[in-house]
């Protein structure tokens, strides 16, 4: 009996498909974002992951992710789920799928979950890190892994500024004009700024994020860090509720999706945050 026949026979007796949660890590520099764009012939993370999983499952596989990332954005803890009638062990989903993926995408782990788990709607909060390389000379090795500025940035001023952004606010000024979210209100639960050598890290936790929200945070904070605006400007932009007053949107390079929290009942592996070259 062929593998396809075996899978179909199992599917005939299986009342409901198996559901798996997977953790995907990817370097986004070579992709036009997470989501498949059928109207455009462009490479996306989702397309690569679905194609690889479909080969291992020997049937079409569609995935749902915790948070769609933009072109150039990377992920160290992107959580997805998918349903399948194919019976494979965890090692098969991880090691097998990785043999079908390009070098800049990897499955970190897989775990069977019940039908109540949803990668997007079960998520309680999400976390991003934005890495700014502040040095006189541009980086070569991480040119698509950090955002470079030749300016010297004042981390203390940036720390003062982020205090105005913590809490539940209307973030209209910090979202893209074309953002499709129904509400601009988000709850920023923690926002830290710290330095590791020439790297400045913006580390943000929130219940959810708006389109370009982190990159617009970064644009404002880099302006403040460079001494071109006072820390209170972050508050003034917030209260204006007008994207036109929010300054430039920082580049996507250097933005990492690093964590998603789910109810403890699902017992998903804990994120090591990342990216791997940060010490904490």
Report the relative pairing of strands 125-134 and 199-206 from DSSP bridges.
Answer: antiparallel
144 and 224 assigned to the same domain: yes
- The boundaries of the domain holding residue 107 are 3-122
Question: Does 278 fall in a domain?
Answer: no
252 and 232 assigned to the same domain: yes
171 and 153 assigned to the same domain: yes
Express as a percent the part of the chain with pLDDT over 90.
88
The pLDDT of residue 278 is 84
Task: Pick 13 or 27 by higher pLDDT.
Answer: 27
Q: Per-residue pLDDT tens for 26-62?
A: 999 999 999 998 888 899 999 999 999 999 999 999 9
Residue 178 CA, distance from chain mean position: 19
The pLDDT of residue 3 is 46
161 with 226: CB under 8 angstroms? no
Examine the residue annotation and report whether 156 is marked as an active-site residue of this protein. no
Whole-prediction pTM? 0.91
- Radius of gyration of the chain from Cα atoms? 20
Residue 171: count of CB within 10 angstroms of its CB: 26
Question: Does 266 fall in a domain?
Answer: no
Residues 5, 70, 83, 156: which is the catalytic one?
A: 70
How confident is the prediction for the chain on average, in pLDDT? 93
DSSP summary character for residue 91: H
168 with 85: CB under 8 angstroms? no
144 and 201 assigned to the same domain: yes
Question: Does 246 fall in a domain?
Answer: yes
- Is residue 5 predicted with pLDDT exceeding 50? no
- Is residue 210 predicted with pLDDT exceeding 90? yes
Angle, CA of 149, 204 and 233, to the nearest 5°? 60
133 and 36 assigned to the same domain: no
How many domains in the chain? 2
Q: Which residue in the block uniquely carries the two structure tokens 């010490």?
A: 279
75 and 160 assigned to the same domain: no
What does 208-220 look like in DSSP terms, one character per residue?
Answer: ---TTHHHHHHHH
Question: Does 45 fall in a domain?
Answer: yes
What are 81's strand-pairing partners? 21, 64
Mean pLDDT of 110-116: 97
Choosing from 82, 97, 122, the residue where a domain stops is 122
Whether the bond between 212 and the residue before it is cis, its omega within 30 degrees of 0, is no
188 and 218 assigned to the same domain: yes
- Is residue 101 predicted with pLDDT exceeding 90? yes
The pLDDT of residue 14 is 54
């Amino acid at each position: 009996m062929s593998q396809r026949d075996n899978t179909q026979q199992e599917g005939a007796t299986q009342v409901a498909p198996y559901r798996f949660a997977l953790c995907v890590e990817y370097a986004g520099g070579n992709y036009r974002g997470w989501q498949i764009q059928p109207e455009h012939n462009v490479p996306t993370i989702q397309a690569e992951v679905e194609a690889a999983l479909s080969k291992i499952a020997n049937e079409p596989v569609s995935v749902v992710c915790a948070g769609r990332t933009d072109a150039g954005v990377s992920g160290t803890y992107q959580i997805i789920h998918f349903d399948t009638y194919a019976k494979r062990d965890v090692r098969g989903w991880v090691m097998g799928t990785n043999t079908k993926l390009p070098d800049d995408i990897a499955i970190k782990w897989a775990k069977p979950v019940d039908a109540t788990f949803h990668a997007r709607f079960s998520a309680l909060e999400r976390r991003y890190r934005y890495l700014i390389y502040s040095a006189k000379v541009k980086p070569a090795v991480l040119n698509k892994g950090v955002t470079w500025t030749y300016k010297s940035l004042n981390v203390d001023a940036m720390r003062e500024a982020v205090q105005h952004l913590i809490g539940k606010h209307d973030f209209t000024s910090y979202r893209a004009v074309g953002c499709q979210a129904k509400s601009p209100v988000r709850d920023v639960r923690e926002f830290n700024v710290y330095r590791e050598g020439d790297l400045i890290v913006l580390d943000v936790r929130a219940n959810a994020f708006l389109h370009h929200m982190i990159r617009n945070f970064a644009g404002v904070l880099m302006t403040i860090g460079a001494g071109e605006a006072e820390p209170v400007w972050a508050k003034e932009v917030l209260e204006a509720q007008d994207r036109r007053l929010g300054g430039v949107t920082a580049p996507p390079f250097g933005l990492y999706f690093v964590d998603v929290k789910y109810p403890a009942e699902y017992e998903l592996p804990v994120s090591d945050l990342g990216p791997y070259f940060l010490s904490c």
